[in-house]
Structure 1
Amino acid sequence: MPEQNDLGTVISTLEGPSPGNVDFVVNLPEMVLHRGQFVEMSYSEGTLIAMIVDLIKTNRYFERADSVKEFEASGKKMLEVFPTGEWEYLIAKTKPLGVFSPDGRVKRATSPISPGTKVRLAGNEKLHKFLGLDSANGLHIGNVEFHDLPVSLNLTRLFQKHLSILAQSGSGKSYLVSVMIEELLKRKKESGRLAAIVFDVHGEYINFGEAITDSKHEDYSNKTKVVKARDIRIGVPKLSAAILNSIIPDLSSAQVRDVARIIEQLRRNMQATGPFDFRDVKNAISADSEIKDSTKAALIGWLSGLEYLNLFARTDAPSITDLIAPGELTVIDFSDIVNQRKKQIIVSYFLRRLFDSRRSKHIPPFVAVIEEAHQFAPAMAKEESAISKGIIETIAREGRKFGASVCLISQRPKRLSTTALSQCNTHIILRITNPYDLKHIGESSEGLDQRSQDMISSQRVGEALIVGEATNYPVFVKIRERKSLESSHEVPLEKAALDFEARKEKAGEETEEFL
């Protein structure tokens, strides 16, 4: 009889055992195993940890299709005539991940394990150390799937070298981000707190700013500021040459210098004349003797186009540095803005100001969460439709040195800037079935092999694969239940239809009463 903790025994196949493949036969037919589970086995250099990547059932009685067909065609059932149940086996295919040496170090498996070795379910304590989880100060986002082991990710390993969250629509991206925000907001001062700013395209995180009146949810409203993007104003005196160049990409270098010079002149006179806007800039351009008339007309035309966006004013509103505080959340709600250029200008301006302020240490370390990141850093797009792409790529390349992090969220990773995505050292991948997106992710993530890609497409809602810097090895996670108020953004179609008709009936009744 097998020992109680034994799952099975390593077998010989054409492919192994090898340092990269180990198959084992499961001891008891009633045992239930799953793809993504971790197992361990004794090894010459310590304990080998492996992940189950596939499960195959085999039965000698059913190996030859022609024999099975001929016998069943005779009117007899093989299950009734032969002891088929006694010859059914479950084969688990595993991928060795590493070796836990007796001194607690983890290293690669470089030689094959012996056939006949007993296989056990990986113990939680050993698995915790093997994966590099941080139960003391980490962000608890869920449990290792099929193991009763909480997944708490170290803050630095998760965010310092940037994070991407990739999944198709409806797979639980926003739910996962909400769980992460909860963890950031509840951190204590002595554990190290980041400031968080979310560029919220659909208004999915504004619920964090709502006061809670029930006992089922936790209240984060005292740590959250929600800013409607339609109310944002960018102070013209704050515009640098780099910002001007990003929001008006058609300007030549000489034209950028001309506008920057005019703004600098007006800035020097601010003590006497006060803040200024684009109308003042246009008047100064018209009066400037150094700028050619043809250039004046072009500059005034471009500035008038920016005025039309109703986004620029004499001062910033709100002040960007006032929005950022350790352990607090700022949500920029874009749900009432349709103009994509306006969205990109806001994201570009905020990120540039935040990055510059962080480099000079005027604000705390921060993470900028960018929903629909492929809209703001598109892989292939003209400059005028990719205003925010440059600063996102800059922070992705250089931000880790200054404590400026980005979290890129996308349902179309193939359309997301390869430069930005490749700088994200941790990927959290929920369900994706598009083969082009899967291939793109595989090319961007070193720790993602073909077997893991195949498992991604079969994930259910709320299941995720973590690959990269945050964990020592890839791990499948079941995302925990959120504690914050659910987003009111996505309403079931039936409820939306019922609500519409109910409102219509109520309006009709009120009209009749009035008449």
Structure 2
Amino acid sequence: MSIGTVISGVSSPSPSKILFVLNGNGSVHKGQFVELDYEEGRLAAMVTDVVKTNRYFERADSVKEIESKIGAMEKHFPVAEWEYAVAEAKTLGVIAKDGIIRRPTFAVSPGTKVRVASKETLQKFLGFVEGGLFLGRVEFHDVDVKLDINRLLQKHLAILAMSGAGKTVTAKTLIEELLERKKEQGRIAVIVLDVHGEYTSFAHPPKDESARDYSQKTKLINALEMKIGVSKISARMFSEMLPGLSNAQKRDLEKVINKLQKEMREGSGPFDLKMVKNEVLNDKDIKEATKRILASWLSGLEELNLFAKVDYPNLYDVIKPGMLTVLDMSGIINMKKKQIIVNYLAQRLFAERRKKLLPPFLLILEEAHQFVPEHKSREESICKGIIQTIAREGRKFGAALCLISQRPIRLDTTVLSQCNTQIIMRITNPYDLKHIGESAEGIDNKSLEMLTSLRVGEALIVGEAVNYPVFIKVRKNYSQASKHEKTLAEAAKEFEENAEREKNEISSFL
């Protein structure tokens, strides 16, 4: 059904833009898709602006004078008959009669009728697939957003938004879709580096009967209980954890590590930091000043209570196809400790995947700007190097990244540019918007401006996963809500209720 007619403007219609006037029954929204007949097939366009006008209200001085004398104009004149709306739309592409999508190369004729884009047109044009990951619905259209897993994840994904805009809900939606996949569809392992404990709810049976239970598909690891096996740490990785060492000090430490690893291979068994430190202190070839420095650095690592002779947990026990592994780091405040954990885990995951000893995986990194910052060196950001490596080379080995950040401008440009799909939600900071505009391919200024007015749960998808940028409404989660998703008022109420309950229990006991 036609909603409007293409009209002539100063510079339209053209191959890149059309203007159309809405008919009496037509309505259209900014961001909505429309289609119209084209010589080669169907032309698809996205509405970028809608303007209403009325000749009775064109001159402010006349409106003021008339209404001051006779009252509201609509009571005396047929103003409704002279009101009309004109929409501007950016042409996106042509679905040719042979099914191939081509770019428009000539203008449509004025007078061409405009329709709301059909479900078939949108699915074909945007690149949605049956059996894809169902993330939500196209804004203003009853069309499911089902994305091809390879296009979405193989070249990495970034979810960017200000705090409270729906990043975690979007990430949970993605995780649910990956856990729902059948063996014959191809299942990957999912690992979440959970900074705030927002994904731990996956590991617990839901209290709400309407929520789906993913607890049997989830392994929850408390990062406070995690141990890194010192005997598996290379000399280079030690150097990354001790960035203040000189080259000479690194060489001495490397010699000690290599000696202990050689002895381990010969049957002496795994070793820990204490054994490394003792070996340093007993090595006659190392200068006394160097011994003191290395011993001090190693003591600092010991204080993190993170290292042991062997890894805990064993990666092979927790990384499985179709399974979710949540590393809960919410109990750790020390940023260096978190950096070391992320660095070691990412290094092991990538190394084992390259050897095909682990399944293809998606590594989800919350608060990514803390771990891969833009203006800090590798010495200051321990895990920056391995995340950059996975971003560059991961797609060759089935190692995918999903970076989640509320401050895109602080996120390393090299890594962000390797995320070929971006799901961008509400962002109001002008510096972040500028950074996104420079790093995201296919996003124009008008789409960028619309990001500031998005509501919670609304998002713009750009990049590899879709043929053209599309605004969507993210679906509701199937899983239960996190304990962190309470409102401020709900948290305050719960605190007082718990305090009162404890007081009553103490009184009854006494």
With the shorter chain as reference, the TM-score category is over 0.9
- Following the alignment from structure 1 to structure 2, what is the Cα–Cα distance between the partners of residues 138 and 495? 36
Residue of structure 1 in register with 2:19 after alignment: 23
1:275 to partner: Cα distance: 1.5
TM-score between the two structures when normalised by the length of structure 1: 0.96
2:235 counterpart of 1:241: yes
Gap runs ≥5 in structure 2: none
Letter of the structure 1 residue corresponding to residue 177 of structure 2: E
> In 1, are the aligned partners of 2:422 and 2:440 still within 8 Å (CA)?
yes
Residue of structure 1 in register with 2:399 after alignment: 404
Residue of structure 1 in register with 2:376 after alignment: 381
- Deviations for 1:375-417, whole angstroms, at most 9, x for unmatched residues? 1101112545411111111111111111111000001101111
Secondary structure at the counterpart of residue 379 of structure 1: coil
> In 2, are the aligned partners of 1:395 and 1:406 still within 8 Å (CA)?
yes
Counterparts of 1:282-293 in structure 2, within 5 Å, are 282-293=277-288
- Following the alignment from structure 1 to structure 2, what is the Cα–Cα distance between the partners of residues 34 and 112? 23
Secondary structure at the counterpart of residue 455 of structure 1: helix
Q: Once structures 1 and 2 are overlaid, which stretch shifts more, 503-512 or 323-332?
A: 503-512
2:428 counterpart of 1:430: no
Counterparts of 1:340-355 in structure 2, within 5 Å, are 340-355=335-350
- Following the alignment from structure 1 to structure 2, what is the Cα–Cα distance between the partners of residues 213 and 459? 32
**Pairing partner for 1:189 from 183, 200, 210:** 183
Counterparts of 1:225-304 in structure 2, within 5 Å, are 225-270=219-264, 272-304=267-299
2:34 counterpart of 1:10: no
Q: Once structures 1 and 2 are overlaid, which stretch shifts more, 270-279 or 356-365?
A: 270-279
Residue of structure 2 in register with 1:368 after alignment: 363
- Following the alignment from structure 2 to structure 1, what is the Cα–Cα distance between the partners of residues 318 and 239? 25
2:178 counterpart of 1:178: no
Gap runs ≥5 in structure 1: none
Superposed CA RMSD in Å reads 1.4
**Pairing partner for 1:218 from 205, 208, 212:** 212
TM-score between the two structures when normalised by the length of structure 2: 0.97
Letter of the structure 1 residue corresponding to residue 150 of structure 2: T
CA shift in 2, pair 1:426/1:390, >3 Å: same
Q: Once structures 1 and 2 are overlaid, which stretch shifts more, 252-261 or 185-194?
A: 252-261
1:214 to partner: Cα distance: 4.7
2:439 counterpart of 1:463: no
Residue of structure 1 in register with 2:137 after alignment: 143
Counterparts of 1:68-87 in structure 2, within 5 Å, are 68-87=63-82
2:408 counterpart of 1:413: yes
1:213 to partner: Cα distance: 5.3
Secondary structure at the counterpart of residue 407 of structure 1: strand
> In 1, are the aligned partners of 2:3 and 2:27 still within 8 Å (CA)?
no
Residue of structure 2 in register with 1:209 after alignment: 203
> In 1, are the aligned partners of 2:191 and 2:324 still within 8 Å (CA)?
yes
Residue of structure 2 in register with 1:328 after alignment: 323
1:31 to partner: Cα distance: 3.2
2:315 counterpart of 1:313: no
> In 1, are the aligned partners of 2:30 and 2:50 still within 8 Å (CA)?
yes
Letter of the structure 2 residue corresponding to residue 8 of structure 1: G
- Deviations for 1:91-125, whole angstroms, at most 9, x for unmatched residues? 11111110111000001112222111110111111
1:492 to partner: Cα distance: 1.4
- Following the alignment from structure 1 to structure 2, what is the Cα–Cα distance between the partners of residues 177 and 435? 24
- Following the alignment from structure 2 to structure 1, what is the Cα–Cα distance between the partners of residues 34 and 287? 74
- Following the alignment from structure 2 to structure 1, what is the Cα–Cα distance between the partners of residues 501 and 199? 30
> In 2, are the aligned partners of 1:40 and 1:48 still within 8 Å (CA)?
yes
> In 1, are the aligned partners of 2:235 and 2:257 still within 8 Å (CA)?
no
- Following the alignment from structure 1 to structure 2, what is the Cα–Cα distance between the partners of residues 204 and 503? 22
Q: Which runs of 4+ in 1 moved over 4 A?
A: none
Q: Give the length in aligned residue pairs.
A: 509
- Following the alignment from structure 1 to structure 2, what is the Cα–Cα distance between the partners of residues 163 and 214? 31
Residue of structure 1 in register with 2:388 after alignment: 393
**Pairing partner for 2:58 from 46, 63, 66:** 63
- Deviations for 1:173-222, whole angstroms, at most 9, x for unmatched residues? 11111111010001111111111100001111111111235531111111
- Following the alignment from structure 1 to structure 2, what is the Cα–Cα distance between the partners of residues 357 and 242? 17
